[in-house]
Each structure stands twice: as C-alpha cells, then as structure tokens.
Amino acid sequence: MIEVREVKTSRDLSVFIKLPFGIYKNDPFYSPELIRDQRVHFSQKNPFLRQSEVRFFIAYRGSKAAARASLIINPVHNRYHNENLCFFGFYEAEDDLEVAEALFNTLEEEARKGGFTSLRGPMNFSTNEYCGFLCEGYSEPPILMTPYNPPYYNDHMQHLGYHKAKDLLAFIRDIPDELPEKIYRAARIAERSGIRVRIIEPKRLLDELKIFQRIYNEAWKDNWGFVPISDEELIYMTKRLKPIVVPELNLIAEKNGEPVGFLGMMPDFNLVLRKMRGRLTPITLLKALFYHRRIKDLRLLLLGVRPEYRLRGVDALLFREGFRAARRYRRVEFSWILEDNLPVIRLVEMIGGRKYKVFRIYEKELKQS
C-alpha cells in the first residue's frame, strides 16, 4: 500500500531530511549538507519560506518512507514573469515508479486546487539555489551547490509526462597558466578605459555582497527563470556562505569607484561534505579540518556585468584576475549556464571550457479536473 502524507511535525521533517541517506548509502559521490543546516534551511529562518508557500510531502510504501518532494508557490516568480506556475523541489526517491506516480499525483492535484496551470522543477527552492536534475555527466562528483541524483530520476519525469523546460550547462577546465591572447587584449581595453578590479573585503562581507546583489539583479533580469534576490535572502545567504568564502576568489570591477561587474568563485567544499555525511561530530569535524586543506577544485558560480558596460572587456578583465588568484587550485567548473546563453557559452569555450554536465528542469501542463 502506498500513502502520501504531508509533513506536519518535527519528526516528519526528520524523516524528510534523512530519506536520501538510504538512497545514496553506497554512493561515494553523495555530498549532503549537514542535517542541522538542512533543518534551518527548511524552517522559517529561511526568508524564502516567509515570502513563499512551501509544503513538504513524503510517500510511504507500507511503513517505509520511499520518496519525498516539496510543493512551492513562488509569488515573486509568478509576478515577475507574469506566469501561473507551481514548482516542485527536493525530490528524492527509490526507483519505484508506483511511488513516484503517487507522490506526483498528490503534488499535481494540490497545484490544480490552487489554480496553477503548470508544475515545474526541481527548484530547491528557486533558480538562486539548486535547480534541475543531473542528466549528463555522472562520472564525476558534484561540485559545491550543484545537483546530484540517480539517472532514473529523469526516467521518472518522462514516465510521469514531464517534458524539458530548460537545460542548464556546466563546463570544466584546468586552471590555466595562460589565457588566450583575445582575453588579454580585451582586458587591456577595459583597463585603458579606467576599469579596475579589487578583491572583496571580508570584514565588510555583507556590504560587498550587496554590490553582487545589485549587479546580479540588474545583469540577469532578462534571463529565463530569473528571480531577484531580496535583501532578506542576501543576509541569509551571507550567513550560510561566510565560513567558506575565500576573499581573493571574489572580485569587483569598478570605474571611478562605482561597481560595474563582479566575479564569484567558491572552493569545492563538497569534498568535505562527502566525508561528513551530514553529521557534525568530533570525528567528522577532524575530517573537515583535514580535507578542507585538500580542496583543489573551484566553482565559478557568479559573473555579472552591468548592461551598459558589456562588450567593453570587463568580463575578460575579471577572468584574467580571477585565474591569477586561483593558480593554487587544479580545476574550475563554470556553472550553471543556460543552454541558450550563447555569448557566455562562447566566452567559456574560448578560454578552454569543456561541457561536461547537464542539469534539466522539467515541466508539465496541468489539466484542470
């Protein structure tokens, strides 16, 4: 017998959080956040849950929790894009199509009751965080804050009638000693026009990230699926990221003291999370201290230039200075990039990036019953 129940209690939430550990128990690539951090993320301390409606569901086969997912109503997205979508997220499941079907039947029915015309996901919780199912590139572990899942999740989506809404791409390359001459030429053009690059000041991290927020919200505003980052979300993100921010890997481009662009890279802390397996104990803390010093990969997750400064070499200057600062690392992943963002794809390919992973967002139109 299959039963779908909504999360109502703290004990239910514990089941929701711990369910994936059984699915990935023999998977060396699984990189879960600490359980205590997930509890905070799924609480009202997360400003996203205060500005949106989020419900969590667990599907049971008999007495065993076999699948989970959230149902997300994001009014900011719907107002911004003039859409009438509901979202799902945090899907984890055993390879059991009957369970998956029961869970999604519940999600779809609840979305219909709300008058929504489509269900899209996974969004964990929005495009400003994790999104998409990994559908290509299973030979390497996930980099920090990127999706990871068994291949059969994509089979579940197709079986349930979901189609591709958008693919998000990840590129990889070794940290280069030298970049193509085109990058250096473009960077010099930016410098001659008065553009200068500086590293962020860690003692003023929130103020520095407000610069990232302002440029991000301006530079990305026309992108598919974009949702602006609110001030409350920025404060929350700052608290979450502060322990792993490396100042010299995060750069701000300025002209006459006015910010015009930014580049943000983070060390791949997933190496540490894989060793901790969601738990903070004296032993896992020692592992964290040991493996933290052995991180060799980076993720370039933020790059933005104010629209009026595009095609002026600002991105090239940020790349040049960013790679100089990253020379003690081995590789960098560029992610995620929309599949149809051809200017950025060409830029990444020009500096030697190779596409190696694809994350897919699915959607299904809901027929009103």
Query: Does the residue 367 lie in any domain?
Result: no
Hey, what are 111's tokens? Answer: 């979305």
Query: Does the residue 314 lie in any domain?
Result: yes
Are 165 and 177 part of one and the same domain? no
Are 201 and 339 part of one and the same domain? yes
Question: Which pTM value belongs to this model?
Answer: 0.96
Query: Does the residue 153 lie in any domain?
Result: yes
Contacting residues for 197 by C-beta, under 8 A, at least 6 apart: 251, 252, 253, 254, 317, 318, 321
The sign one gets for the Cα dihedral 110, 113, 119, 121 is: negative
For residue 146, how far is the Cα from the chain centroid?
Answer: 5
Contacting residues for 108 by C-beta, under 8 A, at least 6 apart: 119, 364, 366
**Dist. CA 283–CA 198, nearest whole Å:** 38
**Dist. CA 212–CA 262, nearest whole Å:** 6
Query: Does the residue 128 lie in any domain?
Result: yes
What is the pairing mode between strands 331-338 and 85-93? unpaired
CA distances in angstroms from 150 to 2, 78, 135, 138, 155, listed in the order given: 22, 30, 9, 9, 10
Are 145 and 268 part of one and the same domain? no
**Dist. CA 52–CA 74, nearest whole Å:** 5
Are 126 and 181 part of one and the same domain? no
Structural domain span for residue 289: 173-358
pLDDT (tens place) for every residue of the chain, 369 residues total = 999 999 999 999 999 999 999 999 999 999 999 999 999 999 999 999 999 999 999 999 999 999 999 999 999 999 999 999 999 999 999 999 999 999 999 999 999 999 999 999 999 999 999 999 999 999 999 999 999 999 999 999 999 999 999 999 999 999 988 999 999 999 999 999 999 999 999 999 999 999 999 999 999 999 999 999 999 999 999 898 888 999 999 999 999 999 999 999 999 999 999 999 899 888 888 888 888 889 999 999 999 999 999 999 999 999 999 999 999 999 999 999 999 999 999 999 999 999 999 999 999 999 876
Number of domains in the chain: 2
